[in-house]
Amino acid sequence: MRVALARNGLLTDVKGTKDESDITETWLVNDAKTMGIIDQGVEIHHQTKIWSASRALGAYGTLRDFYNRFTLHNRVTVTRRLRELKIESGTRIVEHLDAFAELVVNLQTTGERWINQDS
């Protein structure tokens, strides 16, 4: 699905957030295209999970969370996301700490043990 979105230049639509004031007609068209690609790339029994999503970002996030929670690769995926977590310029520290806390909770649900490597 990521490859199809990137090929069509729509991967950025599911990567960030959009303020209501920034929504334009072009963005709405691209969001609809992105939602269509997501729908095509998902099996029918998983489409029920994204029916309530009104935007592509919500559908993509729901599917990503489902994948991260219910697959064998969960521990590896969450650990990779934790290692790749970086504060980006313009991001408030509170938002960065919230993302970190979410990753810690995800690791705890997988049964990952925290080991203090300093001692």
* Tokens representing residue 98 in the block: 């919230």
Can you give the pLDDT of all 119 residues of the chain as single tens digits?
667 777 777 777 777 666 666 778 888 888 888 888 888 877 887 777 787 787 888 888 888 877 766 665 677 777 788 888 888 888 889 988 888 888 888 777 766 566 655 54
CA 114-103-11 angle, to 5 degrees, is 145
Q: Residue 55's closest CA among 37, 35, 26, 25?
A: 35
Contacts of 50 (CB under 8 A, 6+ apart): 38, 39, 42, 58, 59, 62, 63
pTM score, whole prediction: 0.52
Domain ranges of the chain: 1-70, 71-119
* Tokens representing residue 15 in the block: 């990567």
* Tokens representing residue 4 in the block: 């199809």
